[in-house]
Amino acid sequence: MKTYSFTKEERLKSRKLIETLFREGKAFSVFPYRVVYMPLKEPGKYPVQVGFSAATRRFPHAVDRNRIKRLGREAWRLQKQELYDHLRSESKQIAVFLIYTDKKIAGFSTLKDKISVILKKLQTSI
């Protein structure tokens, strides 16, 4: 059964984990996102912890930054199941951070397509 939720435990919030992710993680780009990921050692309830960000320098208004992050989370929520199933079958866990790099706010359909590419790339690289 597919679950289309995005719970609190799936969000990447630990400052220590985020610092480790940026220090030791691997990265790739799928415009308009830069993706940083790293396998996790500690077992948790969900196979992926994910975080989203948009630069204050590119989007000085919080409304725009929040909109970008909201669209990204929604696109992730709707398409994450295939990656989750793959990671559960191999009993692996990862932390992922998506950084929005474009100077304009992209539409939801564009972001959904790009998140789909990111999910496939993560699935093949792990």
First to last CA, the chain: 24
pLDDT digits (tens, 9 = 90+) for 51-97: 999 999 999 999 999 999 999 999 999 999 999 999 999 999 999 99
Per CATH, which fold does 13-125 belong to? Answer: Ribosomal Protein S5; domain 2 (3.30.230)
Residues with Cβ within 8 Å of residue 29, at least 6 apart in sequence: 35, 101
pLDDT digits (tens, 9 = 90+) for 13-44: 999 999 999 999 999 999 999 999 999 987 77
Q: What is the distance between the alpha carbons of residues 110 and 118, in angstroms, rounded to a whole number?
A: 12
Beta strands in 63-110 (DSSP E): 94-100
Is the separation of the CB atoms in 18 and 64 below 8 Å? Answer: no
